[in-house]
Structure 1
Amino acid sequence: MVSPPHEAMHRIFQHDPGLFSRVSRFLGIDLPKPIGATALPTDLTEASPVERRVDTLLRFETAEHGAFLLAVEAQGKKDPDKPASWAYYVSYLWTKYRLPTALLVVCQDHVTAKWAQQPVSSGPAQLPTLTLRPLVAGPHNMPVITDPDEARADLVLASLAAITHAAEPVVNAILKALSTALRDAPQDVADPIVEFTAHGLGNRPAKHLWRNLVAADLSFYKSYISEEIRDEGREQGRVQGETRRAAEDVLLVLEQRGLDISDDTRTRITECGDPETLRRWLRRAVTVHSTDEVFTDEEP
């Protein structure tokens, strides 16, 4: 199953194809801003039972270098089978479209990034017939954007910075700068950035900070993450309501049986937030001879 971080790491380039030219300077090259960009089909399957699908495929048109293809792959961990697949993607695309083809691998940790950027040859050491040298974007070379003004100048790049540094302590400062910058952005601009960032963080601890920032700073946006927070609030309210009613049921049974209920007992029952405990007390309330017996064998 494809994970949300995997999707965010490559789909962000579909959302803003020009992002690659802005990222390229951090990769040691300087590509001009494209004058046109088109998303192409990602299915590279031939007439064989093996399905091969690149994550994102873009065709760029540039004034200086003409057209070229960019295949974007999201990589979450080292995989010894991947270099052969990547070499296939590049050679197949080159053959099919007759265009120069580049490969960008996006990673979220230093170990995977270091592994991915190593050149791999398909032939023997003395005959490196085809050598794969992917470009790699990761925490080792993506910018650390902690200034809201800098984030505001390029929201998509700031989102990618958060995604690629998701496992780094600095991600908290990046997220705070990004959320501040998004306050001034139109909703149709901010919503995809909020979601790309949330997906890219996955289940890492920074996800909770981002949710809180979105709830506090961007509460007027109706993005999926805001809806998710509201749904959780409604669910929490439902559970609290059921717990309150369960406590009332325990007290009602004790009162109907004519048992004396002290203030301490009433407080202990009404402040209990565990539905299972309240159900256990309700069952005991039907048969006990005093309210103290409701809590038999339980620590106060």
Structure 2
Amino acid sequence: MPSNAHEMPIEFVKNRPELVTRLLEDEFGVDLPPYEHADMASENCTRFKTTNFYSDRVVALRDGSQALMAVIAEVQRREDTRKRYSWPVYIATVRQNLECPVMLIVFCPDEKTAVWAREPIDLGQPGMRLVPFVVGPDEIPVVVSAEEARELPELAVLSALAHGGEEEKILVACAEGLKTLNNDDFSVYHDYMVSALRGAARENWDALMANPTFTYQSDFARKYISEGRVEGKAECVVSALRHRGLHVSDEVAERISTCTDPDQLDTWHARAFSANAAEDIFDNPGASTPDQ
């Protein structure tokens, strides 16, 4: 099961395909075709029955139903020589399936992995090399404008994680962007922020969330950040499970909602992002009382 840290940038692309087009245009200077809209295309990159290949996400830039260009979005957290063989397969297959040019953008959380991912891939044929567009910490733009954060909250979250320790106004802009999200997305994005921020950035974020003058549009969001209220934490657990497409039975929902231990709820919330079934968040799924 992919980790939460692996899934979130791809979740951002799924929720907002414009994220990859914004990065390609602003950070890499790519001239994209004058497309009408961007949507998700199939990630299945299979051509041979004996081997299945799946990219993380594929964004199609379309004019009506016609694909003008496709962008494969991948997350790479460490060096993996196999990707230097599978990435060209992704591009060739998506190109054949959609009959349009294809580009590859790779999200890397650290600079060491980004340096590796930027290395050209020699395809053997003279003059044919694949050079991925790599988004490392240095390629994440600094978002300090509340207006920009509201327009593209996913980019604001990435900015906060990459640069949030530098200026508090980056975190303020991100918080403004989170205001625009629905309850489920707010829960997932905020959890990702809390788990990934470190040091001064985490301290500043916690202080911002506790500031009574900073109000959220969502009742759920206010409940989530106000004094660690147990009911808010319980709703977060259920929301995270359902956001991942897992079935939450009445019994599981009741067990979560009746738990009064905030630390236990935090544990269940963390497990919700890797569980194969809702019941898996419990140490003992058959137990009738909260785990200690």
- TM-score, normalized by length of structure 1? 0.63
Is 1:146–1:173's contact at 8 Å kept on the other side of the alignment?
yes
* 3-state DSSP of counterpart to 2:229: helix
* 3-state DSSP of counterpart to 2:185: helix
Question: What is residue 177 of structure 1 aligned with on the other side?
Answer: 173
Q: CA RMSD in A?
A: 3.7
Q: Note the 1:33-112 alignment, pairs <5 A.
A: 34-61=35-62, 67-112=68-113
Cα–Cα, structure 1 residues 26 and 11, in superposed 2: closer, same or farther, change >3 Å? same
Is 1:191–1:223's contact at 8 Å kept on the other side of the alignment?
no
- Aligned mates of 2:62, 2:19 — CA distance in 1: 14
Instruction: Mark the structure with the bigger radius of gyration.
Output: 1
Question: What is residue 229 of structure 2 aligned with on the other side?
Answer: 230
- Aligned mates of 1:237, 1:131 — CA distance in 2: 51
Q: Deviations over 1:172-218 (max 9, x none)?
A: 652232114545x3x53x75256335336644425675466446545
Cα–Cα, structure 1 residues 58 and 152, in superposed 2: closer, same or farther, change >3 Å? closer
Question: Which protein has greater RCO, CA pairs closer than 8 Å, 6+ apart?
Answer: 1
* 3-state DSSP of counterpart to 1:222: helix
Q: Check if 1:145 corresponds to 2:146.
A: no
Cα–Cα, structure 1 residues 47 and 56, in superposed 2: closer, same or farther, change >3 Å? same
Cα–Cα, structure 1 residues 150 and 67, in superposed 2: closer, same or farther, change >3 Å? closer
- By how many angstroms is 1:28 displaced? 2.4
Q: Check if 1:132 corresponds to 2:130.
A: yes
- By how many angstroms is 1:50 displaced? 3.2
* 3-state DSSP of counterpart to 1:84: helix
* 3-state DSSP of counterpart to 1:140: helix
Q: Note the 1:198-237 alignment, pairs <5 A.
A: 198-199=191-192, 202-205=195-198, 210=205, 213-214=208-209, 216=211, 217=214, 220-222=218-220, 226=224, 229-231=228-230, 234-236=260-262
* 3-state DSSP of counterpart to 1:157: helix
- TM-score, normalized by length of structure 2? 0.64
Aligned AA (2:156): A
Is 2:35–2:68's contact at 8 Å kept on the other side of the alignment?
no
- Percentage of matched positions with identical amino acids: 25
- By how many angstroms is 1:159 displaced? 2.3
- Aligned mates of 1:224, 1:195 — CA distance in 2: 15
Q: Note the 1:272-287 alignment, pairs <5 A.
A: none
Unmatched segments (≥5 aa) in structure 2: 235-259, 265-292
Is 1:21–1:34's contact at 8 Å kept on the other side of the alignment?
no
The alignment covers a number of residue pairs equal to: 230
